[in-house]
């Protein structure tokens, strides 16, 4: 197992009971992890999943990743372990099932979407001493052995791709024609925070489409802890609170954001954006009349 410069959640868990303290807000646990200099991908992905289940026991799933890594010495052995012996597979039957974006469910059901299967692959590989990195190719997340052009399509059973294979996959998934240039700029390494952002954006889209405001709220609150688009996210979170009957909470959220922006000349918000925020706050307050 590679060394960590951050305080491991595993060590914290050894100092208290294994089950998470449900009195601690999952969003605050997530915030604490992603604010570390180098967030641990496995621990942060589990903290994200705790938004859907605050009683989640991370120690159980860290141990499962440990178990999957035992006896692996090469990348080919890693691929065999995960995609042949353990039968991890892309969920083509129900791609938009939110469980596909929650690491414990992926480990239990042995199915998921490209980015969560990539998290499993990267973290099992790390435990086995095999360095891997996530590649945020538009439309289809991949895994790469650093410094090489060997890519893994974990959604397709760990299939190996070269650069030409990546381009073919990109065009098949996105429908992009020859007029769209393909090159290294579409195959850049994705940071841990980038991976978490993409996972949250997937859930944001799913919960919005399924009209699940309580679930959407924790996703948006976690999204706020990472770099985001500003006013649109604040307004969406406030309206999501309103959909749960908490109109005043939503209005106050926007009011605080506007006050902070007005007090900070470097906020970057223009008058039109501030007016849009104030209008959204008034709209929420109108439900109280």
Per-residue pLDDT tens over the stretch 25-74: 999 999 999 999 889 999 999 999 999 999 999 999 999 999 999 999 99
Neighbours of 274 (CB within 10 A): 16
Per-residue pLDDT tens over the stretch 82-93: 999 999 999 999
Per-residue pLDDT tens over the stretch 6-33: 333 343 333 333 344 456 799 999 999 9
Q: What Rg, from alpha-carbon coordinates, does the chain have? A: 21
Verdict on whether the full-model pTM lies above 0.85 = yes
Neighbour-count burial of 136, counting CB atoms closer than 10 A to its CB (0-12 exposed, 13-18 middle, 19+ buried): buried
Please indicate whether residue 6 or residue 137 has the higher confidence score (pLDDT).
137
Beta strands in 138-253 (DSSP E): 142-144, 151-153, 159-161, 189-190
Cα distances from 118 to residues 146, 159, 263, in angstroms, run 14, 12, 42
Which DSSP symbol is given to 134? E
Average pLDDT over residues 150-168: 97
Which DSSP symbol is given to 246? -
Q: Is the pLDDT of residue 121 over 50?
A: yes
* pLDDT of amino acid 38: 87
Taking the C-alpha atoms of residue 213 and residue 104, their distance in angstroms, rounded to an integer, is: 22
């Amino acid at each position: 197992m590679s060394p960590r410069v951050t305080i491991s959640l595993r060590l914290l868990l050894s100092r208290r009971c294994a089950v998470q303290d449900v009195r601690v807000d999952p969003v605050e646990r997530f915030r604490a992890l992603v604010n570390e200099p180098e967030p641990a991908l496995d621990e942060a992905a589990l903290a994200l999943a705790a938004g859907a289940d605050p009683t989640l026991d991370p120690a159980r799933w860290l141990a499962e990743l440990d178990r999957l890594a035992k006896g692996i010495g090469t990348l080919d052995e890693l691929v065999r372990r995960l995609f042949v012996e353990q039968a991890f597979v892309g969920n083509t039957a129900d791609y938009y099932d939110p469980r596909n974006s929650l690491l414990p469910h992926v480990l239990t059901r042995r199915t998921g979407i490209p980015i969560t299967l990539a998290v499993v692959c990267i973290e099992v590989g790390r435990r086995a001493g095999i360095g891997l990195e996530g590649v945020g190719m538009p439309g289809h997340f991949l895994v790469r052995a650093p410094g090489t052009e060997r890519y893994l399509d974990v959604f397709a059973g760990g299939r190996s791709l070269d650069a030409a294979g990546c381009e073919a996959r990109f065009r098949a998934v996105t429908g992009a024609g020859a007029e769209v240039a393909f090159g290294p700029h579409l195959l850049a390494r994705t940071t841990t925070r980038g991976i978490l952002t993409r996972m949250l954006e997937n859930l944001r889209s799913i919960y919005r489409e399924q009209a699940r405001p309580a679930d959407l709220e924790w996703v948006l609150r976690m999204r706020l802890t990472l770099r985001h688009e500003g006013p649109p996210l604040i307004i969406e979170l406030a309206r999501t609170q309103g959909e749960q009957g908490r109109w005043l909470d939503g209005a106050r959220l926007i009011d605080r954001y506007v006050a902070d922006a007005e007090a900070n000349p470097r906020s970057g918000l223009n008058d039109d954006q501030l007016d849009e925020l104030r209008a959204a706050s008034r709209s929420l307050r109108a439900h109280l009349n």
